[in-house]
Structure 1
Amino acid sequence: MSGRHTAGPRVGLFGILGSGNLGNDGCMDAIVTFLRDRYPDVRLDFMCMGPERVAEVYGAPSTALQWYEPHAGDATGAHAAALKVLGKLLDPFRTFRWVRGQDVVIVPGMGVLEATLPLRPWAFPYSLFWLTVCARLTGAKVALVSVGANVVRKRFTRWFITRAARLAHYRSYRDDQSRDALRTMGVPVRGDDVYPDLAFALPSPERRPGHGAVGVGVMSYYGGNDDRERADELHLRYRTAITGFVRHLVDSGRPVRLLSGDVADEPMVEHILAEVPGDVVAEPLTTLDDLMRQMSQVDTMVGTRYHNVLCGLKVGLPTLSIGYAAKQDVLMAAMGLGDFCLKAGSIELGGLLERFAELERRHAELTATLAERNRVTRERLEDQFAALAKVISSDEKTTRETT
């Protein structure tokens, strides 16, 4: 390590963690499990969006990523605006103080280098950029581990993302597309590796007979960062198709289990429950483990959120992806189900029913394919953790190109 102490490594985890996004929290859980298994004396610290929940779950110090969030309360109007400005002034100093206490800061998985959903440059992209600047100033190392990326068009968002990537000590990606995106944006990626998404490292529950049940993972979908002007139109199209699909399943005598991946998806779940009477259940979800346990009770999966799709594949369920970004298509192809991808922005009930029927017809074949692909994925993640261990244990100074 850096020689600043003789006890276990001081490792910070940084990101949109603990705020209700199951995929992000699943990646965090995979990293924490690895760290505590490999380094029993590791000293964990978190800087995240849900510090109270993270501190409770992991029993480690946790700091709010943004000063404004825990201080906002019921502030509105000019008062809220003033608090946001104050927070933006305080956050760089808070981040510097936090980073100074770490040897390594890990950004675990997540699409931290992408803008496939609405994203403001002064939100997380700026926070990530400043994290890497602080690490350079204090001698800490930043590791972007199995992260997602895409080619970002918005100028300021792109600038923060690419500068953060350049300043990181270690980078790995969850797919080739992510690495290619950074290369396209001018980031030197020679020596960067591609490994599976960290959520694949979580344990899988034992499958139970689904008795024809279908899992339907829903999302409060409003398009991406470039779709703000037609967000309501996209949402209505998506909601109409998904609601019609659930109604078709129920009318056909199929039990349906509604699944989500973020607290923001609850309105969509409530809408379907109100519109479709019958054998439709939706139980609380707080972790990816909860999600996969519920998936283990169905026979087939249809999902929109990236980690809904990923968990369906990991559990071994023939899965149909209604994707909002190319990353889902890449994931599906890697797992042998590239023929079963639809686009959330142009979804139609007829096309959805047709693809679902084909998915069920090939159920046995696809189940066998997933068993083999999951085996290979687990082996690749062992390589990822071995590479990360070298970053944590090494005294090597940062040598990445920063210009």
Structure 2
Amino acid sequence: MTPANGTPVRVGVFGLLGSGNLGNDGSLEAVLGYLRREHPEAVVDALCGGPEAVTARFGIPATRLHWYRGEYRTASRAGAIAAKGLGKLVDAVRTAAWVRRHDVVIVPGMGVLEATLPLRPWGFPYSLFLLCASGRLLRTRVALVSVGAATIGNRPTRALVRWSARLAAYRSYRDARSRDAMRAMGVDTSRDEVYPDLAFALPTPPATALSGPSGSSGSSGRVCLGVMAFHGGNDDRARAEEIHRRYLDGTIRFVRALVEDGRPVRLLTGDDCDAPVVAAILDAVDSPLVTAAEAASLADLMREMAAADTVVAIRYHNLICALKTGTPVLALCYAAKSEALMDRMGLGAYCHPAREVDADRLLEQFRALEKRSAELRHTLAERNLAAARQLEHQFTALDAALFPAADHPHALREAP
């Protein structure tokens, strides 16, 4: 897309992208697909957590989000603490300079307005605030697209998230609970829309890729189990190890029960940090029926899940992958976003608390889910079609809001 002055529109994408989280990168993939389809002349680059990975996979230039490379390591020595502090000042200048080079910046999905997992205010919340404040000061349109949000108790984090949302030029949420949370935190959401998660815009693997391991169209009782290095959320730091141990012990007991029934179990992750959980399960359940997949993208996860009879998963985007392939899924829920997603897709009855994994109850729910497999597959097919239509509507709305000078007569709506 080229506006009247003949200069291609400069679009930036921003977030913890390329850092090993498959869901975040899937959201980026969806937005890049939209830009390449609707605005092929736009010049796109990223400010992100893993610039080398983003450039290698998506073919766009990328800049490191933080000047200080040890940003997400705990600083205990005076030198490291000083470097972190200096980094905050340097990042303010770097972020503003990056934003200034763009006409539009898109934050593609992700839970950028929530703290459902451990999060320090001066980490990503501060970075997002710098982005949105720079956008407002420098008149660069910043769009928070299909993002997740949750009510935040920690005051500094809450303030940074609230002001980030207020300063953005466009906001949409991936579920109604996210919009409600932002309203509860003092953001005027009267003109904000709710759309499905951006990952629902990704292509589902073709039919030839949806066969079982032997190449047939069916599976042989395989269960995909998505795992996570789960230690609770921001308010659970004092109990983090207890929560993790309970989650892991319950999950191991569940896997053992499946193996005793002769069911093959395929372990899946969604972030590089999940590898120790996979190792712990393989060590505890010594059986050839339990194997681990090496997935590098949401497409890889979808191929694995499409070849399964049933999925049990904890990570949000693992759930999305199962739902997109039409595979019945049982959710281990650690936040309201998972429950909202399952409700939206017609599987609200199949949720289990991740903090209190009860293997016996989980197995009971699992068997009830499998009894309704055919019915639920039909439901998922209908809900997936609806999600795809809703996201097409969102991309049309984005065109009007972010690129009004090129193709649309609509004026930009500045979010209050």
Q: Which amino acid aligns with 2:99?
A: V
| Distance apart, 1:398 and its partner CA | 6.0
SS in structure 2 of the partner of residue 63 of structure 1? strand
2:328 is aligned, of 318, 324, 342, to: 318
In the alignment, is the contact (CA less than 8 A) between 1:8 and 1:39 conserved in 2?
no
Cα 1:136/1:290, change in 2 over 3 Å: same
1:340 maps onto 2:350 in alignment:
yes
Please state whether the residue corresponding to 1:258 is helix, strand or coil. Answer: strand
| Match in the other structure for 2:369 | 359
Structure-2 residue corresponding to 1:27: 27
For residues 210-359 of structure 1, the aligned pairs below 5 Å read: 210-278=219-287, 279-359=289-369
Q: Unaligned regions of 5+ residues in structure 2, if any?
A: 212-217, 406-410
1:57 alignment counterpart: 57
Deviation at 1:82, TM superposition (A): 2.9
Residue number in structure 2 paired with 1:141: 141
User: Which amino acid is 1:400 matched to?
Assistant: A
1:35 Cα offset (Å): 0.2
2:103 counterpart residue number: 103
With over 3 angstroms needed to count, the CA separation of the structure-2 counterparts of 1:73 and 1:136, relative to structure 1, is closer
Where does 1:99-248 land on structure 2 (aligned, <5 Å)? Answer: 99-205=99-205, 206=207, 207-208=210-211, 209-248=218-257
Look up the equivalent residue of 1:32 and give its one-letter code: L
Name the counterpart of 2:408: none
Q: Decide whether the 8 Å contact of 1:24 with 1:109 is kept in 2.
A: yes
**3-state DSSP of counterpart to 2:399:** helix
Amino acid at match of 2:202: L
TM-score, normalised relative to structure 2: 0.93
Paired residue type of 2:55: A
Task: Name which of structure 1's ranges 51-60 and 20-29 shifts more when overlaid on structure 2.
Answer: 51-60
Among 386, 390, 398, which residue is 1:376 paired with? 386
Structure 1 residue 75, shift from structure 2 partner: 9.4
Structure 2: distance between partners of 1:5 and 1:64: 30
For 1:68 and 1:4, the matched residues in 2 are separated by: 40
> Distance between the aligned counterparts of 2:136 and 2:412, measured in 1?
10
| Pairwise CA distance, 1:79 | 3.3
In the alignment, is the contact (CA less than 8 A) between 1:72 and 1:83 conserved in 2? Answer: no
Change (3 A) 1:318 1:74: closer
Instruction: Summarize deviations over 1:215-251 as a string: whole Å, max 9, x none.
Output: 0000111111101111111111100011111111112
How far did residue 194 of structure 1 move? 0.5
Query: Partners of 2:2 and 2:115 in 1: how far apart?
Result: 34
* C-alpha distance in structure 2 between counterparts of 1:48 and 1:136, whole Å: 20
State how far apart, in whole Å, the 2-side matches of 1:385 and 1:69 are.
35
CA deviations 1:150-196 (Å, max 9, x no partner) are 11111110100010100000000001100111111110011111000
Q: Which residue type is aligned with residue 67 of structure 1?
A: W
For 1:78 and 1:210, the matched residues in 2 are separated by 56
Opposite residue 263 of structure 1, the aligned amino acid is: D
Moved more, 172-181 or 60-69: 60-69
C-alpha separation in 1, matches of 2:403 and 2:9: 8
CA distance in structure 1 between the partners assigned to 2:155 and 2:2 by the alignment: 36
Query: After superposition, what is the alpha-carbon deviation per residue over 1:82-104, rounded to whole angstroms, capped at 9, x for unaligned?
Result: 32222112000000110000100
Asked if the contact 1:12–1:102 (Cα under 8 Å) also holds between the matched residues in 2, the reply is yes
Q: Deviations over 1:295-345 (max 9, x none)?
A: 122110000011111111111011000010011011001100010001101
Shift of 1:59: 2.1
Q: 1:189 to 1:60 in 2, by over 3 A?
A: same
CA distance in 2, matches of 1:35, 1:72: 31
Q: Partners in 2 of 1:175 and 1:74 — Cα distance? A: 33
Aligned partners of 2:3, 2:138: CA distance in 1, in Å? 13
**RMSD, matched Cα:** 1.9
Are residues 237 and 397 of structure 1, via their aligned partners in 2, closer, same or farther at CA, if it must alter by over 3 Å?
same
Change (3 A) 1:70 1:186: closer
Runs of 5+ consecutive residues of structure 1 not aligned to the other structure: none
Cα drift, residue 139 of structure 1: 1.2
SS state of the match for residue 128, structure 1? Answer: helix
Give the letter for the 2:361 counterpart: G
